[in-house]
Copies of this chain bind each other. A is one copy, B any other.
Amino acid sequence: MRRQRSTKQRKLVYDTVQALRDHPTADEIYLTLRSVEPKISRGTVYRNLNLLTENGEVRHVAMPDADRFDWRTERHYHLRCTQCGAIVDAPMPYRAELDSQLAQDTGFQVRRHHLVFEGLCPACLQQNAEGKDQA
């Protein structure tokens, strides 16, 4: 059977996800990490992110631009600004009852759901308002 080793790189990837709490992409994690461990490779970052996700130590968040990673491992929702791309956690509890309700209604075994809100963040709204004044 295969046993997972504890390597410096894996620890660094984990620590970086914990440190960067703004839902970084694999590449952002890689770039951050490179200043600490210049020889680390993208492949290693991707592989470790996948391993850590399987282990449940970090959480994978699929976004339209790229896969992102989240230090929070409990299920929760996200809110994305379609203008600047910022992603924040939505202050809204996970509604597990939706899963069981849908299971009842469809015959599927529903494991979970992903909920992503889209809109404009306060900063972008403000910026747009200023831009309009000038125009």
Residues of A within 8 A of B (CB): 62, 64, 79, 81-82, 88, 90-92, 98-99, 101-103, 105-122, 125
Sample 23 A-B pairs with CB under 8 A, ordered by A number.
A62-B62, A79-B106, A79-B108, A79-B110, A81-B108, A88-B106, A92-B98, A92-B105, A98-B117, A102-B117, A107-B121, A108-B117, A108-B120, A108-B122, A109-B119, A110-B117, A110-B119, A111-B118, A111-B120, A112-B119, A113-B116, A114-B114, A114-B116
Partner of A90, one of B64, B106, B107, B120: B106
**Nearest residue, chain B, Cβ from A64:** B62
Copies per complex of this chain: 2
List residues of chain B with CB within 8 A of the CB of A103. Answer: 119
Q: A116-B113, A117-B112, A117-B113 are in contact. Are A105 and B91 (CB under 8 A)?
A: yes
Q: A64-B62, A106-B90, A106-B91 are in contact. Are A118 and B122 (CB under 8 A)?
A: no
- Complex-state Cα separation, A114 to B61, whole angstroms: 13
- Complex-state Cα separation, A92 to B88, whole angstroms: 26
- Complex-state Cα separation, A79 to B107, whole angstroms: 11
**Nearest residue, chain B, Cβ from A91:** B105
Partner of A101, one of B62, B92, B112: B92
List residues of chain B with CB within 8 A of the CB of A109. Answer: 119-120, 125
